[in-house]
Amino acid sequence: MRREPPQTLGDYSPLLFPAAMLTIFFVVPFGTMIAVSFFQREQGGFYTPAFVFDNYQRFLSAFFGGVLGFSLMMAIAVAVCCVVLALPFTYLLTRMARRVQIVWLVALLSILSLSEVIIGFAWSTLFSRTAGITNILVALGLMGEAKALTPSFAAVLTGMVYQAFPYTVLVLFPALVRLDPTLTEAARTLGASPLKAFFTVVVPALRNTIVATLIMVFIFALGSYLLPQLLGRPQHWTLSVLITDQAIYQSNMPFAAAMAVFLVLVTLGLVALTVIAGRKGETA
């Protein structure tokens, strides 16, 4: 049976339920959020319908500029760390026995599915004074006494890299599986060391994949909403944390919505870039 265009109205019926669900519970909420971003905030956590730009005007403050700059910087740092760690790892993983690959993939998926609450709790325990790694260092005689490593910038970065690393591997995995193994074999036959073959053959061949992966991990890291709060100080808060904070604790929905709309625009711009990078990859 070939694919054919729908003949009668009845042929469209399977589409009815999914289309209705996605429209009512995704498109409409999205529109509601955009509308709320223009609403007027009232005292006591309420808001009234209006059409004001007040919520967007607050972006122009130095504080907001600082948060935005920090969020972008943080996401770039996470993306770069993850790709640098994950690229050789994934490359070597795709060359291992299938059984070994599956064990690693199951482990990576399990960690990827962990909620930020749990990752944050695990790392704050690991970085704490009473139960942390410093206790191990003390036990080994490398350190005088145990101390807390959080809150700090390094703790936030470590937590976010931990969260994004499995994602990075899973994004890189299909591209590296499809990479022609004869490429490196040829380089090896011609006398290149494995390390040299990796950097002069594998990395250039995957240039577009690497760019696309960097952007995807960057977007993933932008979405981190709890780790900066659990592992860092207020100056380490990112845009996602600020949105959550404004919406829930400050009860300023219009401002939270305006920031969310802004975050959507940044993300969509980046997705467009990824698609362009991906297209180039196909033609090359």
Partner 1 sequence: MTSVFRKFYFFLIALFLALPLIVVAGVSVNQKQTLAFPPEGFSTSWYGEIFLNTEWRNALFASVTLAVLSAALAVAIALPLAWFLWRRVAPWANIFQLLGVAPFTLPPVITALGLLTFWATAGFYGQPWTAVVSHAIFFVTLPLVTLSLGFTSIDRSLVEAAATMGADERTIFRTVVLPLILPYVVSGYAFAFVLSLNEYIVAYMTVGFTMETLPIKIFNALRYGYTPTMASVTVLFVSTAAVIFGLVARFGDLPKLLGAMASDQK
Residues 196-215 contacting partner 1, CB under 8 A: 212
Give the residue among 104, 232, 223 at the shortest CA–CA distance from 157: 232
Report, in Å, the least distance between residue 48 CB and partner 1: 12
Reply yes or no: is the peptide bond before residue 151 cis, omega within 30 of 0.
yes
Distance CA 208, CA 206 (A): 6
Residues between 77 and 106 that touch partner 1 (CB under 8 A): 85, 88-89, 92, 98, 101-102, 105-106
Q: Is 183 left (phi over 0), alpha (psi -120 to 50) or beta?
A: alpha
- Exactly one of 77, 121, 192, 202 binds partner 1 (CB under 8 A); that residue is 121
Quote the tokens at residue 276.
Answer: 């362009």
Report, in Å, the least distance between residue 170 CB and partner 1: 6
Could you give the 3-state DSSP secondary structure of residue 41? Answer: strand
Binding to partner 1 by CB under 8 A, coded x per residue (else -) over 9-38, reads: --x--xx-xxx-xxx-xxxxxx-xx--x--
- Exactly one of 3, 140, 249, 283 binds partner 1 (CB under 8 A); that residue is 3
Residues between 218 and 237 that touch partner 1 (CB under 8 A): 219, 222-223, 225-226, 230
Identify the bridge partners of residue 41 per DSSP, sorted by sequence position. Answer: 47
Distance CA 112, CA 136 (A): 27
- Asked if 239 and 71 count as a contact pair (C-beta separation under 8 A), the reply is yes
Stretch that binds partner 1, among 59-67, 76-84, 149-157, 273-281 (CB under 8 A): 273-281
Report, in Å, the least distance between residue 10 CB and partner 1: 10
CB closer to partner 1 out of 116 and 236? 116
- Asked if 254 and 40 count as a contact pair (C-beta separation under 8 A), the reply is yes
Report, in Å, the least distance between residue 57 CB and partner 1: 20
Q: Does 278 bind partner 1 (CB under 8 A)?
A: yes
Instruction: Decide the pairing of beta strands 40-41 and 47-48.
Output: antiparallel
- Exactly one of 116, 227, 236, 255 binds partner 1 (CB under 8 A); that residue is 116
Binding to partner 1 by CB under 8 A, coded x per residue (else -) over 148-187, reads: --------------x--xx---xxxxxx-x----------
Give the residue among 85, 127, 82, 83 at the shortest CA–CA distance from 227: 127
Q: What is the DSSP letter of 40?
A: E
Report, in Å, the least distance between residue 77 CB and partner 1: 16
